[in-house]
Each structure stands twice: as structure tokens, then as C-alpha cells.
């Protein structure tokens, strides 16, 4: 029996430990490395030679989508399975574009998760079906990169003048981007636009 070597990346030590314990119970799976930051993924993968990396999305240093792209570029033989609390359509689309082979949410039963690892290792795609349907309905992000930047800054609150200072833009430009983002998300207010974009995974 071939043993599939795993790397786990999750900034929550308890979650990481629980995942490792569950996966290590499987006779053909072995956790060979664990990290708590996205910017540690590639270095540990180069050291430990995993076959599959299970990456969370929201991590310090580097988010899981950027870590996926970096890992696929540096360690192409290692497949990526994103395992996250945040089942947002925009995250799924961007994770797949970055080279992930699978995307499941953390409350996936242990046996199903182990099966997802095996399928990803054998070259198959594995995607949470409800999320896949939602992603098709949601479509790609309608926001430009600059509109996303402005909404991310608006998430912290502050006046238009504060946002303009932080982004090194004029107040008029910030107002235009906010107005455009509000229109594209179908929101009535700036706060609602931020919430809608966040829920769709457009602001990572």
C-alpha cells in the first residue's frame, strides 16, 4: 500500500492538531509536516516532500490561495486540497485558478476528508457540491482590483478622506470607486457593499 504524505497548514493549532490526529488514523495517510502560516508552506514542503498539502484560506503571512500558487510553482508534484471554514464562491474559484485540485469545508466528515485526499492525490478534482453550484450562480467577481482595494480599506471604517490617505488616492477617486462598487454589488450603502463582497469571497 502506498502511503500518501501530507502537509497541513492552518493557523489554528487546535484545528490543525485535530485534523492531523484524524488523518493519521487512516492506514495509507501520514502527516509529515504542519505549519501555522501561509508563508511557511513552500519551505516546509521542500523539506518534507508531501504528496498532498491541505491548506486553510485565511492564514497570516500568506493566504491559502497565494500559498497554493506558490506551492504549485515550487513543488509541482504536491497536489493542493483547500480545507476551510469559509466556503465562499469567490474563494473556490480563485483557489482552483491558483492550482488547487480540491476544495472542501472543515465540517466535512473524517472519512469523506480522507477520501478527498486520496482522490486529489490520484489527480481527480474534489469540490464541495453545494459550493460548486453556488459558485456557478455567483460568477466571477465584478469588481476591479482597485474597487476591491477600496472596499477592503472601507471594511476598517473611516471617512473617505481616511481611505484616500491610506490608499494614496484622491478623495474624488475613492468616491468614484466606492460608488461603482456599490452599484456592481447591488448594495445601497458602502457597508452593505463590503458585506456582500466579503460573503462572496471577493475581498481576500
Domains and CATH numbers, the chain: 4-138 (3.40.50.2300), 145-199 (1.10.10.10)
Q: What local confidence, expressed as pLDDT, does residue 4 receive? A: 96
Digit-coded pLDDT (tens) for 5-51? 999 999 999 999 999 999 999 999 999 999 999 999 999 999 999 99
The bridge status of strand 4-9 relative to strand 29-35 is parallel
Q: What local confidence, expressed as pLDDT, does residue 106 receive? A: 82
User: Does residue 89 carry a pLDDT above 70?
Assistant: no
Instruction: Say what the pTM is.
Output: 0.68
User: Does residue 135 carry a pLDDT above 60?
Assistant: no
Q: What is the mean pLDDT of residues 59-70?
A: 94
Amino acid at each position: 500500500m502506498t502511503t500518501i504524505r501530507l502537509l497541513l497548514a492552518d493557523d489554528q493549532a487546535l484545528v490543525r492538531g485535530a485534523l492531523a490526529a484524524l488523518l493519521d488514523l487512516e492506514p495509507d495517510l501520514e502527516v509529515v509536516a504542519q505549519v501555522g502560516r501561509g508563508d511557511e508552506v513552500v519551505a516546509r514542503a521542500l523539506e518534507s516532500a508531501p504528496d498532498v498539502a491541505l491548506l486553510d484560506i485565511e492564514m497570516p503571512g500568506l493566504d491559502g490561495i497565494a500559498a497554493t500558487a506558490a506551492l504549485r510553482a515550487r513543488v509541482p508534484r504536491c497536489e493542493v486540497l483547500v480545507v476551510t471554514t469559509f466556503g465562499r464562491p469567490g474563494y473556490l474559484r480563485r483557489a482552483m485558478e491558483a492550482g488547487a485540485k480540491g476544495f472542501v469545508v472543515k465540517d466535512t466528515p473524517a472519512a469523506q476528508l480522507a477520501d478527498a485526499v486520496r482522490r486529489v492525490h490520484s489527480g481527480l478534482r474534489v469540490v464541495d457540491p453545494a459550493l460548486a453550484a453556488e459558485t456557478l450562480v455567483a460568477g466571477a467577481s465584478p469588481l476591479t482590483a482597485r474597487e476591491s482595494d477600496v472596499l477592503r480599506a472601507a471594511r476598517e471604517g473611516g471617512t473617505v478622506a481616511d481611505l484616500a490617505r491610506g490608499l494614496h488616492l484622491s478623495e474624488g477617486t475613492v468616491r468614484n470607486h466606492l460608488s461603482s462598487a456599490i452599484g456592481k454589488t447591488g448594495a445601497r450603502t458602502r457597508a452593505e457593499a463590503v458585506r456582500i463582497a466579503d460573503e462572496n469571497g471577493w475581498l481576500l
